[in-house]
Structures are given as structure tokens and as C-alpha cells.
Amino acid sequence: MKAPISRRRFLHGSALAAGAATAAPLLGLAGPAFAQEAARRAPKVDVKQASDLGLAPVMINANENPLGPSAAALKAIDAIAPEGGRYLFNMQKELVEEMAAQLNVKPEYIVPYAGSGLPLQQTVMAFTSPTASLVTADPTFESGWRTADRVKAPVHKIPLRKDFSHDVEAMCAADPKAGMIYICNPNNPTGSITTRKDIEYALKHKPKGSILVLDEAYIHLSPTAVTGADMVAAGEDVVILRTFSKLYGMAGIRLGYVVARPDLMERITYFSTNALSVTAMAAGLASLRDPDLVPTRRDANTKLRDGITNWLTSEGYACTTSESNCFMVDVKRPAPEFMEAMATYGVFVGRAWPVWPTWSRITIGTPEEMARFKDAFAKVMAGKRGPVPVKMALLEDERRDGSHTAYA
Ligand SMILES: Cc1ncc(COP(=O)(O)O)c(C=O)c1O
């Protein structure tokens, strides 16, 4: 039997499914085994029970935007929905032209998708193989790792530098047979920036025959990160991925795009169909044409994030230097223990990466949600637990259940 909608929606957005018993063996693990497990599990609660206790879930675990689509985007969705019986390819052309104009590239250098997750996977499939590896940072967004595993491509995970930027020298030197160098800028999960100088270094020194992929999913949230779109326009071996899931608040509406030279694009899009949801296109166009949206949301996010990271630092918990809607905090204990304890207050924080097993990723929510985070954090660090019963379960199970947010 299916759970009621509200519960299903929540489980979809949280992570996992299994019994409380699964937490115990995890917490008994040590060393690398523990680190691997830490990245595979997360807590879940019954949303109704949590709400009845006055602790409705705060979902700051999946780098979503609690503000959702902008007012202009919602209006555009409403206006276009009655025309949803048509493909509206002309609108798709208009959207691509708008994207191209904003990045100063030719329209044929852009292909839109329902989000950027699929084109990222297709890019890995196109440019890596058992004899052409993937080189990434660690920690970084792991989707490329999983795809590379599936095509049996070797994966080189290069630790971030001490300042949390990508170690482009080490990445370029990792494997002369690399097929793809992946730089997420700002980086998920740290929110850290890779400078233009470092990106230019990577372009110049990457192994012959490889491509440089710049995942700019979070770039609108950063005041300093510089796009590599001009490198694409200049005909370089660069692929850029963009999404409307983050600042634009359209993770559930689904819109993203690839920017690449046509010959590279041909390889990425080889197995794609190109019709998009008309509501996503209308919302995307309205968002792109709203001049205040990016600066307003970016500034609000920056203020809130800096307030939280300054507070955490003053309390003695190191945070990454972030220019994004997420950051990592060293909770000085196994991250799953922290995640579980926070969930007893209805606060869902993000996962850990095996390379940093005591760090947890925190997404910036609303001011009210961040107030709940602070309150729960202080209590958890004082050794307290809240009233909400929590179960730990495997991310894979949740994923099979239809959730992708656990891996956002
Ligand atoms: C760095 C990065 N790239 C790509 C994606 C894919 O997101 P979407 O498919 O919603 O565009 C995500 C999602 O969290 C992400 O963090």
C-alpha cells in the first residue's frame, strides 16, 4: 500500500528506508569501512509524527531551493499550461536563443535538457571508457563517479586543496590517459570556488585528447566565480553544464542545459530526444528575463549562509569557505550520528563523503529553517536528542523507491 501523499513526498525528499537496527552496525564500524558506510546512509522519520510534535521536517539535505520558482516563473507556468498539448518547438528555440545571448555563445552551442543531471551522465559516457579515465576532486558531486563506474572507466579522485579549491595541478597530472576532467564550480558539497586562473591552468595542462567539464550548477549563487562560456565560444575542449534547479528554484520543474562546441555536443546528445516540458521552458524564460532574480536571491543566500557559518565557526566547528547554497561543517564525530541526532529534531542535514567522514553538508534553507538548524545543532552538540523517532536506512533503497534528492 502506498503511503499518504504528504508522507510519500517527504520520504522522497529525505533519504532512506529500513529499520532503526541498521544504525547500530554502522556506528560500530571504524576507518575506511565506516567512511564508506557514512556516505551510504541517512535518517528518515514519519513526517506526520514529526509535525504532530511541532517539528515539521526542515529539509536542508538536498541542495534544493526552498523558495521554489520565482513569481514571474509561476505566472508563466500558469499561462502556458493550457497549451501543454503542443510541443511548442518555437518556444524551445526562443529559450535557446535567450540562453545563448546571456552567455555570448552561438545558439548551436546550446542544448537544453530536463535538468543537468542527465547531460552530465551522458558527457561522462561520451568521453570516458575503460581506457579514458575520469578525473575529479574529492569531495565533489559524485554523479560522474557512478557513471564512470558503469562504463568501467577508471576514476581518479584528487583531494581538494587546504583552501577547498580544486587542485588543478594534481588533477592534470593524475593520468595522461584521462578522458574528462570534471570541475564543479562552485563545488558541491563544499561551495568552494575554483578561480579563473586555475581553470585556465586546467585547460592548458589537461591531458591531450581530454575534455574539461565545468559544472556550473551553482554559479549564480557566487559573486566571484567566472563562467567558462567564453572558452566554449573560443572553440576550446570545454563543456559547461547549467541548471535551473538551484538559484532558480526549479529542481522539480526540471530545466538545464549544456554549452559545448557542436562536435562535442554531437557526442553528448547522441542518444537524446529534444522535446522539453512547456512549463519548464516558460518558467526558464521568465526566470532568465527577470533582471532582479539572480542578485536578489544570491544576496539573501550569502547573508544567511555567512551568518550560519560565522556562528558555527565561533562555536568551534570548522566550515568550508562557501559561495553557494551549501557548505560543509566538521561536526567532530561520525557524520551519520550527527545526521541521526539532528533528525530527532526534525532537521535533515546532508550526507557525508567518505574522504571526510566527520563533515556534513548543510544546505541553506529559509531564515526560519536555519533558526531551527541552529537550535537543533546546539542541542545535539550538548548531547541531547529530540522527540522525533528516527530510522537509519540505505540511500540505495531510497533511490530505488524513486528518490534522487539523496544524491543531489
Ligand atoms: C553539481 C551538480 N550538478 C548537477 C546536478 C544535477 O541537478 P539537476 O539534474 O537537478 O540539474 C546537481 C544536483 O544536485 C549538482 O549538485
pLDDT at 16: 35
- Same-domain check for residues 46 and 77: no
**Distance, CA of 147 to CA of 157 (rounded, Å):** 14
DSSP 105-125: S-GGGEEEESSSHHHHHHHHH
- On whether residue 161 sits in a domain, the answer given is yes
- Same-domain check for residues 113 and 250: yes
Atom of ligand 1 nearest to the CA of 140: 1
**Distance, CA of 389 to CA of 186 (rounded, Å):** 35
The one-letter amino acid code at 396 reads E
Torsion of CA 74, 361, 292, 227, to 10 degrees: -110
The pLDDT tens digits of the residues spanning 298-314 come to 999 999 999 999 999 99
Which residues are 227's β-sheet partners?
Answer: none
Contact between 239 and 212 (Cβ < 8 Å): yes
- On whether residue 266 sits in a domain, the answer given is yes
pLDDT at 46: 85
187 C-alpha vs ligand 1 centroid, how far in Å? 11
116 C-alpha vs ligand 1 centroid, how far in Å? 6
- Same-domain check for residues 312 and 246: no
- Same-domain check for residues 83 and 207: yes
The confidence band for 17, taking pLDDT boundaries of 50, 70 and 90, is: very low
Query: Mean pLDDT across the stretch 339-362?
Result: 94
Residue 18 has pLDDT above 50, yes or no: no
- Same-domain check for residues 306 and 275: no
Q: What is the pTM of this model?
A: 0.91
Contact between 265 and 118 (Cβ < 8 Å): no
The pLDDT tens digits of the residues spanning 156-177 come to 999 999 999 999 999 999 999 9
Counting the structural domains of the chain, the total is 2
Residue 276 has pLDDT above 90, yes or no: yes
- Same-domain check for residues 248 and 367: no
Query: Mean pLDDT across the stretch 235-256?
Result: 98
pLDDT at 54: 93
CATH number of the domain bearing residue 317? 3.90.1150.10
- Same-domain check for residues 225 and 118: yes
Matching residue, cell 587542485: 167
Atom of ligand 1 nearest to the CA of 256: 11
Residues with CB under 6 A from ligand 1: 63, 115-117, 120, 141, 184, 188, 215, 217, 243, 245, 251, 256, 408
The confidence band for 144, taking pLDDT boundaries of 50, 70 and 90, is: very high
Atom of ligand 1 nearest to the CA of 218: 1
> What nine digits make up the cell of 340?
541521526
- On whether residue 91 sits in a domain, the answer given is yes
pLDDT at 8: 41
pLDDT at 31: 61
- On whether residue 41 sits in a domain, the answer given is yes
Q: Which of 118, 245, 272 to mutate to test the pocket of ligand 1 (most atoms within 8 A of CB)?
A: 245
- On whether residue 3 sits in a domain, the answer given is no
**Distance, CA of 354 to CA of 350 (rounded, Å):** 13
Domain final residue pick, 256, 288, 320: 288
* CA-closest candidate to residue 228, choices 243, 239, 217, 244: 239
154 C-alpha vs ligand 1 centroid, how far in Å? 22
- Same-domain check for residues 247 and 123: yes
The gap between the terminal CA atoms of the chain, to the nearest Å, is 27
The pLDDT tens digits of the residues spanning 20-62 come to 334 444 555 556 666 666 667 778 888 899 999 999 999 999 9
* CA-closest candidate to residue 140, choices 166, 178, 172: 166
- Same-domain check for residues 46 and 112: no
216 C-alpha vs ligand 1 centroid, how far in Å? 9
109 vs 106, 112, 141, 158, 229, CA distance in Å?
5, 10, 24, 30, 10
- Same-domain check for residues 166 and 258: yes
In the sheet that 178-184 helps form, which strands lie side by side, from edge to edge? Answer: 110-113, 256-259, 238-243, 211-215, 178-184, 133-138, 155-159
The pLDDT tens digits of the residues spanning 101-137 come to 999 999 999 999 999 999 999 999 999 999 999 999 9
pLDDT at 34: 60
CATH number of the domain bearing residue 218? 3.40.640.10
53 C-alpha vs ligand 1 centroid, how far in Å? 33
List the residue whose alpha carbon is closest to atom 3 of ligand 1: 217
pLDDT at 68: 98
Q: Which of 61, 120, 322 to mutate to test the pocket of ligand 1 (most atoms within 8 A of CB)?
A: 120
The confidence band for 229, taking pLDDT boundaries of 50, 70 and 90, is: very high
State the residue range of the domain holding 42.
Answer: 30-63+293-401
pLDDT at 400: 63
Domain final residue pick, 232, 264, 288: 288
**Distance, CA of 206 to CA of 265 (rounded, Å):** 19
- On whether residue 187 sits in a domain, the answer given is yes
Which residues are 214's β-sheet partners?
Answer: 183, 240
Which phi and psi angles does 257 have, rounded to 5°? -160, 160
The confidence band for 282, taking pLDDT boundaries of 50, 70 and 90, is: very high
Residue 283 has pLDDT above 80, yes or no: yes
- Same-domain check for residues 314 and 369: yes
The one-letter amino acid code at 283 reads A
- Same-domain check for residues 326 and 390: yes
The confidence band for 397, taking pLDDT boundaries of 50, 70 and 90, is: low
- On whether residue 2 sits in a domain, the answer given is no
Residue 5 has pLDDT above 60, yes or no: no
Residue 78 has pLDDT above 70, yes or no: yes
Domain final residue pick, 288, 303, 326: 288
- On whether residue 52 sits in a domain, the answer given is yes
